[in-house]
Structure formats: structure tokens, C-alpha cells
């Protein structure tokens, strides 16, 4: 039933460029799709595995730069760029993830944050490679088989195909035995060890997969923007991903997907002032943590459980 709904929703999203001629609306739709993928990747590592990772922001930026540089500096194309972004992020995540995951969960959070900051410093200061604060403007539109995806409407198709593929992959992963093992690690790590499962490879794999997907999403996103500069590592993106995951419900796959689409429209609706928008984001974060710590999905689940209990009495 859920799957039917999901497919119907995916098809409805595919129809958006045909329904609206407005570049603005289709552009917001493109952002919404990409943000949802990045939030779903954060959900894999935070919601399912229970590891709050700020490194997602770093991977998002690395992905953006890797894709842009593949095209502009190394003579590749958009498609190999996105693949390179995913591959580089997967490797970087394995390398930095191993020492970070060995620490306590407190130190993990802070070290991932530090990693994200390090990436933004590199983006700003390694001018020979990244061109520093000026960034790389005028990214060429992707092309395939002689077709150029130059307009916003055409690019939407790429974003749609990308996000459907990534969300399908994440859904399969999260609902598989691996996904259940990740939830078990979150809920009771000693018990998982007692069952003869070593948590480390699972955590590392989740971190790396989530990094690869976030990186690829970042790569698609910078080509949507048409420019990559150190602002891609603005903390604003991390806050957006976090709010999507928290409002949707940590550990709920569909909750996060729905809130991703819904909340990506929110920054557009609230565009009257940047400061006001951030204040509202902050207030939403604080209020949500107190009022609905497990998100809308968690709240619905609790209500259902309460009803079941009541019916058994």
C-alpha cells in the first residue's frame, strides 16, 4: 500500500514540469528533490544508526566541488562527475570515519562537526584547486547522447531520476536485514555484540554509503545552482537537513521523505528576510525537540500504539 502510494507520488512529481511553466516553481521542486535525498541520507546515519553526523555538510560540499572540478578542470562530464563525487566521498568517509567511530558517541558528534569545518576551510583556502572564495561559476549544463539539459525544466528530469533512484536504494537498504541491524545498534549496542555481530563494519558502511549519497546529491545540486563556491558549505544546509529529519521523524523512512518535500518549500515561502528565516528555523528546531522529539512519524506511531493498547483492555 505504502509502495503504491510512493510510486504514485513519484509519478506525480515527474509531472510537475508539465503542469507548471514557471521556472521558479520547477526550480524549487528540483531543490526539494535533492534536499530530500540528502535528508534521507542523514536519516540513514542519524535516524537508523543513531549517530548524529555533522560531516554530511562536508560530504555535500566535497560532492559539489568534486563534480564541478571533474567537469571544469579534469575534462570529464556531469555523469562521471557525480560518480566521482560518490566514490571520493565513500573513500573519505571510510578514512575519517574509522577513527571517529572508535570514539565515544559524544566525541563522534563533535569530530564530525570539525570535519565539516575543515572541508569549508579547504574550499576557502586551497585556491589553486577550488579557486577560493570566488568559486567556479558558469558550470556547463549536463548533456547526454547529444541532448543538452540546459533549461530548468530539463534539469528537473535529472534531479527527479536521481532522487527516485537514490530513495529507492535507501528504502531497500533500510528495510533489509542490514537496516534492521543498524536500528539494533542504535537501540542496544551491547546486545548486538552479544549476538555475535560486530557493530563497527555496519556503522562504517552506513557512514560511507550516507556520505556517497550526500556527495552525489551535492554534485547534482551545484549544477542546479550553476555555480560552486564555499557557500555550498554554509551551515544553513546542515540545519535544513536536520530539521527535515527531526520533523519527519528520526528513523522513519517515509516520514523523512514526506517532510523533505514539504519543508523544502518552506524556505521559499519564508524568503522575506534571511535573518527572520534563520530565526524561525532555530525556533522550529527548539520547539520540535521539546514538543515532538520523535517527529511527526514518531508521534503518529505513538498514537497508534496507544490505540492498540486501549483496544486490548
Q: Which is nearer to another protein, 155 or 281 (CB)?
A: 281
Q: Using CB under 8 A as the criterion, which residues of the chain lie in contact with another protein when the complex forms? A: 46, 50, 52, 96, 99-100, 102-107, 109-111, 113-115, 117-118, 121-122, 124-126, 239, 242, 246, 275-276, 278-279, 281-286, 289-290, 293
Check: CB of residue 70 under 8 Å from CB of residue 272.
Answer: no
Least distance from another protein to the Cβ atom of residue 130, Å = 11
Q: Which is nearer to another protein, 123 or 136 (CB)?
A: 123
Q: How far, CA to CA in Å, does 230 sit from each of 37, 65, 164, 248, 312?
A: 21, 9, 28, 28, 57
Q: Which is nearer to another protein, 111 or 264 (CB)?
A: 111
Q: Which is nearer to another protein, 109 or 164 (CB)?
A: 109
Q: Which is nearer to another protein, 166 or 185 (CB)?
A: 185
Q: Which is nearer to another protein, 28 or 52 (CB)?
A: 52
In a 13 Å sphere around the CA of 239, the CA atoms on its Cβ side amount to: 14
Sequence-ordered list of residues with C-beta below 8 angstroms from that of 178, at least 6 positions apart, any chain: 202, 205
| Structure-block grid coordinates of residue 228 | 560552486
DSSP assignment letter at 294: T
Phi then psi dihedrals of residue 137, to 5 deg: -85, 175
Least distance from another protein to the Cβ atom of residue 245, Å = 10
Least distance from another protein to the Cβ atom of residue 68, Å = 20
How many CB atoms are located within 10 Å of the residue 174 CB? 21
| Structure-block grid coordinates of residue 94 | 571510510
Least distance from another protein to the Cβ atom of residue 242, Å = 7
In a 13 Å sphere around the CA of 187, the CA atoms on its Cβ side amount to: 10
Least distance from another protein to the Cβ atom of residue 114, Å = 5
How many CB atoms are located within 10 Å of the residue 160 CB? 19
Least distance from another protein to the Cβ atom of residue 24, Å = 25
Check: CB of residue 28 under 8 Å from CB of residue 38.
Answer: no
Q: Give the distance, in angstroms, between the CA of residue 270 and the centroid of all CA atoms in the same chain.
A: 21
Least distance from another protein to the Cβ atom of residue 205, Å = 20
Q: Which is nearer to another protein, 100 or 213 (CB)?
A: 100
d(CA 135, CA 132): 6
Amino acid at each position: 500500500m505504502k509502495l503504491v502510494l510512493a510510486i504514485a507520488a513519484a509519478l506525480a512529481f515527474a509531472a510537475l514540469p508539465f503542469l507548471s511553466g514557471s521556472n521558479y516553481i520547477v526550480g524549487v521542486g528540483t531543490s526539494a528533490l535533492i534536499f530530500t535525498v540528502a535528508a534521507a541520507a542523514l536519516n540513514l546515519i542519524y535516524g537508523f544508526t543513531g549517530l548524529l553526523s555533522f560531516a554530511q555538510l562536508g560530504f555535500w560540499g566535497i560532492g559539489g566541488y568534486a563534480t564541478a572540478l571533474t567537469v571544469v578542470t579534469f575534462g570529464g562530464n556531469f555523469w562521471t562527475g557525480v560518480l566521482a563525487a560518490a566514490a571520493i566521498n565513500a573513500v573519505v568517509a571510510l578514512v575519517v570515519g574509522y577513527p571517529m567511530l572508535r570514539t565515544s558517541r559524544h566525541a563522534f558528534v563533535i569530530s564530525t562537526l570539525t570535519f565539516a569545518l575543515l572541508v569549508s576551510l579547504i574550499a576557502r583556502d586551497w585556491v589553486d584547486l577550488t579557486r577560493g572564495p570566488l568559486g567556479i561559476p558558469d558550470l556547463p549544463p549536463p548533456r547526454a547522447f547529444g541532448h543538452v539539459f540546459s533549461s530548468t525544466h530539463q534539469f528537473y528530469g535529472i534531479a527527479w531520476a536521481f532522487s527516485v533512484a537514490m530513495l529507492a536504494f535507501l528504502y531497500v537498504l533500510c528495510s533489509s536485514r542490514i537496516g534492521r541491524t543498524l536500528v539494533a545498534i542504535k537501540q542496544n549496542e551491547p546486545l548486538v555484540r552479544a549476538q555475535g555481530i560486530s557493530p563497527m563494519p555496519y556503522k562504517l558502511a552506513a557512514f560511507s554509503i550516507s556520505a556517497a549519497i550526500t556527495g552525489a546529491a551535492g554534485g547534482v545540486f551545484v549544477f542546479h545552482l550553476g555555480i560552486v563556491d564555499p557557500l555550498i558549505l554554509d551551515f544553513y544546509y546542515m540545519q535544513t537537513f536536520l530539521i527535515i529529519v527531526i520533523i519527519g521523524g528520526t528513523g522513519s523512512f517515509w516520514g523523512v521523505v514526506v517532510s523533505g518535500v514539504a519543508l523544502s518549500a518552506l524556505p521559499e515561502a519564508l524568503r522575506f528576510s534571511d535573518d527572520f528565516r534563520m530565526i524561525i528555523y532555530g525556533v522550529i528546531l527548539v520547539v520540535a525537540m521539546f514538543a515532538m522529539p520523535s517527529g511527526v512519524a514518531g508521534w503518529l506511531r505513538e498514537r497508534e500504539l496507544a490505540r492498540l493498547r486501549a483496544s486490548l483492555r
